[in-house]
A = this chain, B = another copy of it.
Amino acid sequence: MKRIFSFGLWTVMHRGGDPFGQPTRAPLDPLQAMSGLAAHGAQAFELHAEDLIPSGSPDAERDRLIRKARGLMEDVGIICVACGSDVFSDPVFRDGGLTSNEARVRRQAIARYKAAIDVGHLLDAPLFNIWGGRDGAEVDASRSPLDALKRLRDGFNELADYIARQGYNMRLSIEPKPNEPRGDLYLSTVGHTLGLIATLEQPDRVGVVLELAHAAMAGLNPAYEVAHALHAGKLFGIHLNGQRPLRFDQDLRFGGANLKDGFFVVKLLEEEVWPGPRSFDARPYRTTDGQGVWQFVEGCIRAYQILAEKVQQYHDDPEVQHLLAEIASWDTEEPDDAGGASAPRVFAYERLDHLVFEILMGTR
């Protein structure tokens, strides 16, 4: 399997600002982002429709921008693997998108998502991914969370139905996140998303995009999050990055933190031969300049490749093989063998865990 590496356009377009600091980098336009990504090792990108096409653009303008983008994509050799929509930054959504208390705003959110679905279709994106950055609450008294979940369910049903009726060759996914700087989100984890999907009208059409930093925000083991999505047959995408604990969504360069967690995520993806793109949703440091952005891109890709090689080394290591074979033998033994006066089981996990450390460090 040839791995596809992908980045959100917004990752390299991010200008380095934060709640206490002005932007530190010059703007990068979406076409520059695409060609830069292609030149530095990526085969694909994700985008918010609004990254490319200003919200409210007339159809003609939209089509012109898409033609231009498709031309460039062909020239530089990059494809679009997922499209989403920015239903969070406009103040009209300050009380929510699909969950707003205002019926008219919910309709606006739906309209915005549908327009973005069209854009995704025009870019041949096989996936439309929803991250509802305002679908939560700063003030719990403002609505019942049960109403919020019903509104999300209705919204997802309508969007899944739209894609089906349009005949688009596109799947729908939802990306959870525990909280925003000041609001708790209703779909906090992969688990909650899988739970909600099970209540949809067409659950088979809808899956999950998992982001490592979002899992880490809730202190969850990210490899277990991947496992839950795989077990349900719903890992439609993954956002790879790094995150230090007890901090808001940091979107650090993949390899920049959580090295061991990163290894176990890569291990599971590789062992299960997961076919999706390895997509990065990270941002350069605020000290990084316009050139450094591409080192950031190369760093993410290189980190995945290194960790994937470590997975191979792990499976090739004779001592690891021996220990795993022993563990596997416990799963198949006959009941009779296990009962009676058998010697107490020796669990060599301590050693196995140390071998993981040494393989990660490159000292085996």
Contact = CB atoms under 8 A, between A and B. Distances in A.
Contacts of A134: 20-21
Interface string A211-231: 000001111110110111011
A19 interface: yes
B350 A296 contact: yes
Interface stretch (A28-36, A53-61, A157-165, A283-291): A283-291
Interface string A324-364: 00010011110100110000111111111111111011110
Interface in A1-40: 16, 18-24
A114 interface: no
A52 interface: no
A162 to B, nearest CB: 18
Contact of A179 (B186, B219, B331): B219
A321 interface: no
A349 B287 CA distance: 7
Contacts of A184: 220-221, 224, 244
B259 A360 contact: yes
A331 B107 CA distance: 11
Given A144-B271, A227-B145, A331 B102 contact: yes
B145 A199 contact: no
Size category, A interface: 35 or more
Contact of A350 (B103, B292, B357): B292
Contacts of A360: 259, 360-361
B94 A21 contact: yes
A95 interface: yes
Nearest to A146: B227
Contact of A349 (B91, B107, B139, B356): B139
Contacts of A302: 354, 358
A18 B335 CA distance: 29
Contact of A139 (B145, B195, B196, B353): B353
Given A24-B94, A189-B192, A256 B286 contact: no
Contacts of A195: 190-195, 198, 228, 232
19 contacts: A22-B91, A101-B331, A138-B285, A142-B327, A145-B223, A145-B224, A178-B220, A179-B246, A184-B220, A186-B227, A190-B192, A190-B195, A198-B198, A218-B218, A255-B357, A288-B350, A299-B351, A306-B363, A362-B363
